């Protein structure tokens, strides 16, 4: 079945190494993702609308200029490690549903397990390859299903008469993109019901 | 997948080292992966990444040099700094440098300062040689122009 052309998914890539940032950006763009790169965990949090100096603030959809569909981060970074960043994201009610992928050049099982237990969706061993990119979209689609499901639940509680397949954005939890969500939601609806 | 060392015979990047009981070329398959990310829109991608790598690695190496001097016998710190450099090296496929990191780590584990120093000097030498070879490589590619690019083996 042909799928309507989608707005590309947006990935936030976090890595303190400049060559690695360039590489991951290229891998992502080649795989049709829209990419933003930052060189630290704290810059990532700033971009996402959180400030790590203060206690996490609930972010309204408006504060995020562009929705982020997935975060991919290096583990070893000075200051805030990828693990610390992961924790902050999972502690935030507005960001916790964004899938997070951790990258590391070291294959340390205890590190990998720790990240997965903290809620990371995937762990990539560096150097990351083009073939790894195909693992990202399933996580994004899964989280959008979850988000859509939560929105629907919320809607059902609010009203009984809404027959639209595009629930209105009344949840502060929403990371709805400004455009093209109408094309996406029916698709995830289909995925959920199939 | 084609062996990186067969891909670049003209530059001597295929030269092998008989250290570590085996043959290790200057570059491994990861470098091919990097080159394969090039297209018409990003024709110089590999060279750009390599340039960034050498800039970054020069900085990391001077950090290590400083640490070796300023923090005597701080093997944990030395190892951590080397790990950063190792990570960068594996991203572009610098296989000979990568191997030397293993020696360095062993020396750290043994608390062998002299061994660490020697190993680091080797890393520096490999780094210099690799830079020269890659500079030559990209120069030749530029001189060859589109015709040269067309005759290069394609994966």
Q: Quote the pLDDT of residue B141.
A: 86
Q: Quote the pLDDT of residue A2.
A: 57
Rounded distance between C-alpha atoms, residue A124 and residue A100, angstroms: 11
Identify the DSSP state of B22.
Answer: S
Q: Which residues pair with A29 in a beta bridge?
A: none
Smallest Cα distance from A41 to chain B, Å: 17
Q: CA-nearest residue of chain A to B87?
A: A105
Rounded distance between C-alpha atoms, residue A39 and residue A15, angstroms: 5
For the ranges A2-6, A19-23, A117-121, the lowest mean pLDDT is seen at A2-6
For residue A171, which of A186, A182, A156 has the smallest C-alpha distance?
A156
- The DSSP code sequence of B39-50 is -SSSTTHHHHHH
Q: Which one is predicted more confidently, A159 or A177?
A: A159
> Does A130 touch chain B if contact means CB atoms closer than 8 Å?
yes
Identify the DSSP state of B108.
Answer: H
Q: Which of chain B's residues have a Cβ under 8 Å away from the Cβ of A19?
A: 49, 52-53, 56, 88, 91-92
Q: Which of chain B's residues have a Cβ under 8 Å away from the Cβ of A130?
A: 33, 36-37
Which one of B41, B60, B86, B87 would you mutate to disrupt binding with A, by most A Cβ within 10 Å of its Cβ?
A: B87
Q: Which residues 6+ apart lie within 8 Å of A146 measured at CB? A: A97
Q: Which one is predicted more confidently, A65 or A25?
A: A25
Q: How does strand A122-125 pair with strand A100-104?
A: parallel
Three state DSSP letters for chain A: CCCCCCCCCEEEEECCCHHHHHHHHHHHHHCCCEEEEECCHHHHHHHHCCCCCCCCCCCCHHHCCCCCCEEEEECCCCCCCHHHHHHHHHHCCCCCCCCEEEEECCCCHHHHHHHHHHCCCEEEECCCCHHHHCCHHHHHHHHHHHHHHHHHHHHHHHCCCCCCCCCCCCCCCCCCCCCCHHHHHHHHHHHHHC
Q: Per-residue pLDDT for A186 more than 50?
A: no
Q: Per-residue pLDDT for A192 more than 80?
A: no
Start-end of H helices in chain B: 4-7, 29-36, 45-70, 75-92, 95-110, 113-151
Inter-residue contact B130 to B13 (CB < 8 Å): no
Inter-residue contact A76 to B83 (CB < 8 Å): yes
Q: Quote the pLDDT of residue A160.
A: 66
- Calculate the average pLDDT of chain A: 80
Shortest CB distance from B53 goes to which of A19, A76, A105?
A19
- The segments of chain B whose pLDDT lies below 70 read 1-23, 146-155
Rounded distance between C-alpha atoms, residue A23 and residue B139, angstroms: 22
Q: Quote the pLDDT of residue A175.
A: 46
Q: Quote the pLDDT of residue A99.
A: 97
For the ranges A97-101, A151-155, B127-131, the lowest mean pLDDT is seen at A151-155
Inter-residue contact B53 to B84 (CB < 8 Å): no
> Does A78 touch chain B if contact means CB atoms closer than 8 Å?
no
Q: Per-residue pLDDT for A60 more than 80?
A: no
Query: What phi-psi label fits residue B152: left (phi over 0), alpha (psi between -120 and 50 degrees) or beta?
Result: beta
In this prediction the ipTM stands at 0.83
Q: How far is CA B141 from CA B1, B5, B10, B103, in A?
A: 22, 16, 11, 34
Q: How far is CA A142 from CA A19, A119, B70, B77, in A?
A: 31, 14, 50, 41
Q: Per-residue pLDDT for A53 more than 90?
A: no
State whether A17 and B55 contact (CB < 8 Å).
no
Smallest Cα distance from A81 to chain B, Å: 13
In this structure, what token pair is assigned to residue A135?
């693992």
Q: Quote the pLDDT of residue A150.
A: 76
Cβ atoms within 10 Å of A162's Cβ, excluding its own: 13
In this structure, what token pair is assigned to residue B7?
């891909």
């Amino acid at each position: 079945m042909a799928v309507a052309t989608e707005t590309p998914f947006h990935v936030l890539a976090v890595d303190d190494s400049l060559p690695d940032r360039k590489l991951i950006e290229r891998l992502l763009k080649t795989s049709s993702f829209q990419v933003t790169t930052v060189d630290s965990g704290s810059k990532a949090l700033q971009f996402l609308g959180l400030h790590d100096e203060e206690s996490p603030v609930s972010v309204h959809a408006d504060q995020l200029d562009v929705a982020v569909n997935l975060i991919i981060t290096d583990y070893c970074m000075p200051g805030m490690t990828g693990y610390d960043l992961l924790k902050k994201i999972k502690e935030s009610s507005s960001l916790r549903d964004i899938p997070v992928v951790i990258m590391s050049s070291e294959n340390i099982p205890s590190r990998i397990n720790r990240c997965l237990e903290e809620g990371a969706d995937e762990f990539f061993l560096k150097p990351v390859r083009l073939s790894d990119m195909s693992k990202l979209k399933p996580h994004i689609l899964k989280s959008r299903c979850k988000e859509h499901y939560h929105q629907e639940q919320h809607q059902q509680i609010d009203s009984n008469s809404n027959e639209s397949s595009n629930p209105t954005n009344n949840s502060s939890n929403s990371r709805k993109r400004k455009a093209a969500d109408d094309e996406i939601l029916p698709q995830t609806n289909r995925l959920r019901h199939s | 997948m084609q062996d990186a060392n067969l891909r670049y015979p003209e530059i001597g990047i295929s030269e092998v080292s008989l250290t570590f009981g085996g043959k290790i070329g200057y570059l491994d398959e990861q470098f091919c992966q990097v080159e394969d990310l090039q297209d018409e829109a990003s024709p110089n991608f590999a060279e750009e990444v390599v340039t960034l790598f050498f800039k970054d690695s020069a900085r990391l190496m001077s950090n290590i040099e400083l640490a070796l001097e300023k923090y005597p016998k701080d093997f944990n710190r030395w190892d951590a700094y080397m790990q950063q450099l190792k990570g960068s090296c594996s991203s572009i496929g610098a296989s000979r440098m990568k191997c030397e990191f293993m020696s360095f780590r062993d020396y750290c584990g043994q608390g062998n300062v002299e061994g660490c120093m020697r190993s680091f000097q080797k890393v520096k030498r490999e780094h210099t040689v690799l830079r020269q070879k890659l500079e030559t490589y990209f120069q030749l590619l530029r001189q060859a122009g589109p015709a040269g690019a067309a005759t290069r083996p394609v994966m």
